[in-house]
Amino acid sequence: MKILLVEDEPLLVDNLTQRFKALGFIIDTASDGEQGLYLALEYQYDLIILDLGLPKLPGLVILEKLRQVNFSTPVLILSARNSWQERVQGLKKGADDYLGKPFHFEELLARIETLFKRHLPKGDAICFSPKHIAGLDSVCLDTESKSLFINQQSQSLTLTEYRLAYAFFSRPQQVYSKQVLLDKISESTEEKESNIIEVYIRRLRSYLGKEAILTQRGQGYRLTLADDDLVPAKANGGE
Ligand code: CA
C-alpha cells in the first residue's frame, strides 16, 4: 500500500514514516499543502493522510480541489481540530475518515485497515518493499490466509506455491538448492521430480516478476525482494 502523508510536524512525520515502513507500506511525505496537492494529483496513492493546518495551502482546500476533479483515493484527515463541527465539516468536504490529534498509532492503523479491508493481509505477514523491480511497490506473504499481497492486491496460492514462497520469504538472503526446496514443498511420503521446482519457481516469478528470484548457477535460488540496501536509494520525500 502506498500512502501520501501531508503533515508539517517533522516529529510526527518521522514517527509515522518509520512505523508504516515497518509494516511494509510505501510512504511519501509532503510538509506543506502545495506540495501535498501536487503529489496527490501527480502520483497514484492508495490513501492520503491529510493534516488540516498546513503551510501554503490548508488541508480543507486541498480536499476540495481533489474532490472537484473526481479524485477517488480515500482521504483520512488527521487533525488537532477535533470538535464535532470540524469533523462534520471535514467529512462533508469529502474526507473518508477523520481522526483527531493526539491519537494512538493502533487506532490510525485500525481505521486504515477498515478503509482497505479487502486488501490487507489478515494474519502475520512477511512484507518487503522492493525498489529495484519495476511496478512492484510492496509484497506481503500472509501466513494466515496463505496468500500473497502484491501492491495490496491479493493473489491466492496453491499449497505448494505457498510452501515455496514461505521458504523464500522467511529467509530472504538464503540460497536454496533444488534438493532443499524439494524437501520444503514435499510431504515426506511423496515422490517428486526435481524439475517440479523449476515449474513452481516460474509460477512465483509470474506473480512477483522475473527478477524477484535469482538463479545462482550451480548453487540454487535466492529471493531478491530484500535487496534494497544494495540498490542506491532514490530521493524520496525530501524534495
Ligand atoms: Ca499542522
Ion ligand 1: residues, Cβ under 5 Å = 8, 51, 53
pLDDT tens-digit map of 2-50: 899 999 999 999 999 999 888 878 899 999 999 999 999 988 788 999 9
User: How many degrees, rounded to 5, is the angle at CA 107 between CA 106 and CA 113?
Assistant: 90
Expressed in angstroms and rounded, the spacing between residue 33 Cα and the centre of ligand 1 is 10
Q: 123 vs 39, which has greater pLDDT?
A: 39
pLDDT, position 88: 93
Per-residue CA distances from 138 to 21, 84, 130, 209 (Å): 10, 36, 7, 12
Position 78 pLDDT exceeds 90: yes
- Ranges for all domains in the chain classified under CATH 3.40.50.2300: 2-118
pLDDT per position as a tens digit, 50-77:
999 999 999 999 999 998 887 878 999 9
* Spacing, Cα 232 to ligand 1 middle (Å): 32
CATH 3.40.50.2300 fits 2-118, yes or no: yes
Distance 53 CA to ligand 1 centre (A): 4
Q: Which of 7, 23, 211 is nearest to 101 (CA)?
A: 7
| Exposure letters 142-157 (e unless 16+ CB within 10 A, then b) | bbebbbbbbebebeeb
Q: Which three cell numbers stand for residue 26?
A: 510505501
Contact 225, 148 (CB under 8 A): no
Cα 81 to averaged position of ligand 1 atoms, centre (Å): 10
C-alpha R_g of the chain: 21
Q: Say which residue the cell 487533525 belongs to.
A: 79
Q: Which amino acid is at 2?
A: K
CA 71–ligand 1 middle distance (angstroms): 23
Burial class of residue 93 in the structure, from the number of CB atoms within 10 Å of its CB (0-12 exposed, 13-18 middle, 19+ buried): middle
* Domain 125-235 indexed as CATH 1.10.1060.10: no
Dist. CA 152 → ligand 1 center (Å): 29
- In the reported structure, the alpha carbon of residue 47 is separated from the centroid of ligand 1 by a whole-number distance in angstroms of 18
| Strand pairing class (2-6; 26-30) | parallel
Share of the chain above pLDDT 70, in %: 89
Indicate where the chain has its CATH 1.10.10.10 domain(s).
125-235
Instruction: Output the CA 103–ligand 1 centroid distance in Å.
Output: 14
